[in-house]
Structure 1
Amino acid sequence: METKIVLARPFSLERQSDQETNYKAPNILRRILSLFKNVRPGSDVSCFKLPPEFNMPKSELQCYAECVYSTALDILSNLNGGKTPLDRLISVVAWTISAVRPLWFGVAPYNPTLGETHHVSKGNLNVLLEQVSHHPPVSALHATDYKENIEIIWCNSFVSKFTGTSVEARVHGKRELKLHNHGETYEMNSPNLLIRIFPIPGNDWVGNVTIRCIETGLVAELSYISQSFFRFGTNQRLIKGKIFDSLSKKILCKIEGHWDSTVTVKNTDNAEVRVIYDAKEVISGLQAPIVKDLESVWPTETVLVWSELSEAILSKDWEKSKRSQEKYRRKTKGASQRKRIKRRKLGT
């Protein structure tokens, strides 16, 4: 039987077509409320099992990887172009903002299985992810641009809490971006995802992000600001921040804008303002990766692991999708049990 590969289009600024979103469940808000009717506020829903009607045909691993490889403008390879440490930090800030993408409300990616991988090559860039833990869910990423001598390492772990009117997914883990040509390492965290159910459904990226260059002592602080409760005002997808010298505490630049449109930086010495990020240039017109050689794809790759379920979801065959989902759950549970037994035998 021929295996059908399904790789969904990346998150981008454009509204998804009907063909891409026809797997959405009907009466989506009512269905979401029915899911949480027996869940208490403050409960951890990180491992909450969603019916297949609420899944999009892609794994969380693909979502993470898209933040690195899926850009219309090659913003990553340009990080080395800055002449000064401040210029390079500003470029890193712009790259960090590019990793924040608009999400679809009402559907979520698959929770990756233990040992699942996602590997994509684009030009000089190689990106590899692996699900290294299932309980708690932890994903690890390693990417290299061998031409520009750039390396990215990060480890993500979500902890989701139901508040009664929303779900907030806190993203734990450190991200590192290394510019080896300049001997610079940038450490950063990531914003949190807020899924608002009442009064107006929607998704927001919220929270504070700190980007620190270990060698130069320069620091950027960004705030992703949530909309008001009723979505009044003009602060939709607003981002504000500053860049300062951690030794002298002097503020060098101020950052302001909207992460889904443009972001500017203002030099505090000469009041010069310039655009450092344009979302239309970076995350528009994005296309899904292409599988060039099916025989060379690892059996752990997300395109193979979830192919049966993704095909069933896209065809709205919910009975088949439920059977496929249950098969993945049994497989993951068995892998976790085998791992625990192995650890006990090793005495770890």
Structure 2
Amino acid sequence: MFFFFFLLQSESRMFIGLEKESSSPTEKLARKESLKVQKKNYRQEKKRVAKELFSALKDPSVVIMSNWLKIRGTLKSWTKLWCILKPGILLIYKTPGSDHWVGTILLNACKLIERPSKKDGFCFKLYHPLDKSIWAMKGPKGESVGSITQPLPSNYLIFRAASESDGRCWMDALELALSCSSLSKMTAKSGRDGDLSSSSESSHILQLLQSSVGEASQVETVSEENKGLIWTLLKQLRPGMDLSKVVLPTFILEPRSFLDKLSDYYYHADLLSQAVMEESPYCRMKQVLRWYLSGFYKKPKGLKKPYNPILGEMFRCCWLHPQTDSCTFYIAEQVSHHPPVSAFYISNRKDGFCISGSILAKSKFYGNSLSAILDGKARLLFLTRDEEYIITMPYAHCKGILYGTMTLELGGKITIECEKTQCYTELEFKLKPFLGSSCNVNQISGKIRIGEDVLATVDGHWDSKVHLTEKRTGQQEVLWNPGPDIRRQRLKRQVVQVDQQEVFESERLWQHVTRAIMDKDQMRATQEKFVLEEAQRQEARERAERPWNPRLFTFNSDTYEWHYRYPDTKPWDPERCLLQFEKDGIIQTEEKSQHQRRSFSYSQNWAAQQKVSHAGFLVFCKGGFM
């Protein structure tokens, strides 16, 4: 039986083979015509790719990035050369002009990797994975011989940027250029159409609106209209561009002002109330650091940017502290538009602390990434101890704008320093290494010192668990862990009702834009946003040369810092002070010596509401909280 089955199979194969050999003349002709069409398409595609590459070489506007870089030669010495990055190619010149061409690297044959270095700056390497040449045979103007420099390797190049930030910028731009080299692999149809296919565009846009902070990815569905808008926007951007000068489409806006967003750092202000009570400077610093870390775990959904505040815009709110029967007040004002500076003041006299500062928000686009830098300092003052803590902020780095999964990271070194106690914290927010795994995401490390003595080290992840290790004993404790219990302890924020707000208060000012965004009516949101921006431009024209004077803050030209006009940093005296309240942006304290009897006090009202609803609130009087 087996032999018979095998024989049938053999005969079947022989029959099929004979059938193929005896193909009809019509079928042969059809195959020949098909081959002609394929060869024709191949020649057309080859011409299109060559034309695309030549266009990128010749067009001066098609530049992803250009700057000086040091390049290591075969003799291991460094030469400073001018590098111009275009889609799919890297042009190297001796000078910024295009007269002294050194060589052209074809990026479609290259791999990119970060290279460790003991020296200053940032190194990266372009190389061919099979050790083949990465150089083009001719230059952009047909040059066959490049300018004389030290000998350069044929299958790789090692580059050095002046700083880590410059190096990261080049890495992102090169990744973008490497991705752009895939344009040459587009189909002949898309080449004839002369535009990106809709499927390619859609994938780019969907990737743009993916945001993963840590390991959790957040995805937002975007309409076809919005995909086209954002792709048009991205094609207008260039690496190094300041995004504060770019008008963003409304659908990528978070429906609240940046002044409102800055208040996210105070939902755990009760940790500062506890810090004031600590007896040792070291324990106070630990508690301040715990509060500092509490401001980062609250994350927006998707890629969202808050509204750029309008000059003179104000935002105010407060948080109730049920354990101490007190209240933390927050006041912020946009004190400058060019450059955009936001000033803020936070006060809780009863619990013994206040915070003041100003932030210059800067954002830069780097090709496949962007960085948002909060340039400024916050000054935390403990009233009863006369201690001031100067605090700086990390920068946010968003990668994967055009391709890949979008990730949001925090980077840079921050400090918390108290001159009086000589207590000092240095914390580094680490970006994920180029070849790092998921466990390397959102890492932080640092140390707490008094003078030159290191008292403790800190390490962990800023969006999850952070450990503190005592240097002397080696004992380890959890400094911060924003689990469900911590999230439930968030203080309740109170905001003045919109209909009771002044015209230039954030929620009332942006209410029509916000409502349109919430209704997913992007056209109406854009129109309402344009009305506000045009009114601001008109006001600036009418003001002409007259300087703008902020209402609640003044500028110190000696320190280049903004200060609240109505600070009250006297320690709380329970014998004299009745309650702290805010009216028209002015935080005040009612004292017994001046008090005019009211129907009820803040604490009486708070206690009554606790019995009724177990939820805190403040009484709103016309113009503020009491």
Local SS of the residue matching 1:335: helix
Matching residue within 273, 294, 302 for 1:105 = 302
Matched-pair identity in %: 25
Verify: 1:144 aligned to 2:347, yes or no.
yes
Instruction: Tell me the distance in 2 between the aligned counterparts of 1:288 and 1:59.
Output: 19
Does the Cα contact within 8 Å between 1:158 and 1:170 map onto a contact in 2? yes
- Paired position in structure 2 for 1:4: none
Higher mean C-alpha displacement, 58-67 vs 92-101: 92-101
Match 2:383 to one of 164, 180, 183: 180
Task: Please list, as runs of the form range in 1=range in 2, the aligned pairs for 1:139-288 lying within 5 A after superposition.
Answer: 139-196=342-399, 197=401, 198-229=403-434, 232-246=437-451, 249-280=452-483, 281-283=485-487
Q: Output the CA distance in 1 between the equivalents of 2:240 and 2:217.
A: 33
Shift of 1:211: 0.7
Number of residue pairs aligned between Structure 1 and Structure 2: 325
Residue 247 of structure 2 is aligned to residue 49 of structure 1? yes
Q: CA shift at 1:245, angstroms? A: 2.4
SS for the counterpart of 2:270 is coil
How has the CA–CA distance of structure 1 residues 292 and 304 changed in structure 2, closer, same or farther, with 3 Å as cutoff? Answer: closer
Q: Which residue number in structure 2 is paired with residue 7 of structure 1?
A: none
> Structure 1's 161 and 83: CA in aligned 2 closer, same or farther, altered over 3 A?
same
Aligned to 1:329: 533
Rounded Cα–Cα distance in structure 2 between residues aligned with 1:150 and 1:287: 16
Query: Separation in 1 of the partners of 2:407 and 2:372?
Result: 14
CA shift for structure 1 position 16:
12
Structure 2 counterpart of 1:115 = 312
For residue 305 of structure 1, report the CA deviation from its aligned partner. Answer: 0.5
Q: Name the SS for the 2:455 alignment partner.
A: strand
From 516, 520, 527, give the equivalent of 1:316.
520
CA–CA separation in structure 2 for the residues paired with 1:210 and 1:227: 21
The whole-number CA distance in structure 1 between the counterparts of 2:234 and 2:398 is 13
Structure 1 pair 333–287 and aligned structure 2 pair: CA distance change class (3 A) = farther
Aligned residue identity for 2:441: Q
SS of equivalent to 2:360: strand
Contact in 2 for aligned 1:194/1:204 (Cα 8 Å):
yes
The answer to whether the 8 Å contact 2:498/2:508 transfers is no
Alpha-carbon distance in structure 2 between the residues aligned to 1:81 and 1:211: 19
Q: Is the 8 A contact 2:430 2:443 kept in 1?
A: yes
Q: Which residue pairs with 2:196 in the alignment?
A: none
Question: Contact 2:316/2:495 (CA < 8 Å) preserved in 1?
Answer: no
For 1:225-251, what per-residue CA distance to the aligned partner results, in whole angstroms no more than 9, with x for missing partners?
1123476230222111101123xx221
Are the counterparts in 1 of residues 294 and 482 from structure 2 also a CA contact under 8 Å?
Answer: yes
Equivalent residue, structure 2, for 1:92: 288
Alignment counterpart, residue 238 of structure 2, candidates 40, 43, 46: 40
1:114–1:335 CA contact under 8 A, matched in 2: no
Change (3 A) 1:231 1:169: same
Deviates more, 1:47-56 or 1:198-207: 198-207
Distance apart, 1:257 and its partner CA:
1.3
Give the structure, 1 or 2, with the largest relative contact order (CA under 8 Å, sep 6 or more): 1
- How far is 1:313 from its partner? 0.6
- Cα distance change of structure 1 residues 339 and 132 upon mapping to structure 2, 3 Å threshold: farther
Q: SS of the counterpart of 2:546?
A: helix
1:173 match: secondary structure: strand
Maintained 8 Å contact 1:98/1:283: no
Q: Normalized against structure 1, the TM-score is what?
A: 0.85
Cα separation, partners in 2 of 1:29 and 1:240, compared to 1, 3 Å: farther
What CA distance in whole angstroms lies between the structure 1 residues aligned with 2:446 and 2:223? Answer: 40
**Aligned partner of residue 239 in structure 1, secondary structure:** strand
For residues 19-30 of structure 1, the aligned pairs below 5 Å read 25-26=222-223
> How is 1:5-24 mapped onto 2 (pairs within 5 angstroms)?
none
Give, in angstroms, the shift of residue 286 of structure 1.
6.0
* CA–CA separation in structure 2 for the residues paired with 1:266 and 1:285: 25
Question: C-alpha distance in 2, partners of 1:55/1:236?
Answer: 26
- Aligned partner of 1:80 in structure 2 is 276
| CA positional deviation for 1:321 | 0.8
Larger Rg: 2
Give the drift of 1:270: 0.8
Aligned to 1:65: 263
Gaps of 5+ in 2: 1-212, 321-326, 549-626
Letter in 2 for 1:39: L
Q: Which structure 1 residue ranges, 5 or more long, are not aligned?
A: 1-11
Greater per-residue helix proportion? 2
Q: Residue 159 of structure 1 contacts residue 170 of structure 1 at CA under 8 Å; is this kept in 2? A: yes
Deviation at 1:137, TM superposition (A): 0.7
- Deviation of 1:318 after TM superposition, in Å, equals 1.7
Q: Which residue of 2 aligns with 1:6?
A: none
CA distance in 2, matches of 1:267, 1:155: 34
For the 8 Å contact 2:498–2:507, the answer to whether it is kept is no
**For the Cα contact (< 8 Å) 1:29–1:106, is it kept in 2?**
no
Provide the TM-score with structure 2 as the length reference. 0.48
Which residue does 2:121 correspond to in 1?
Answer: none
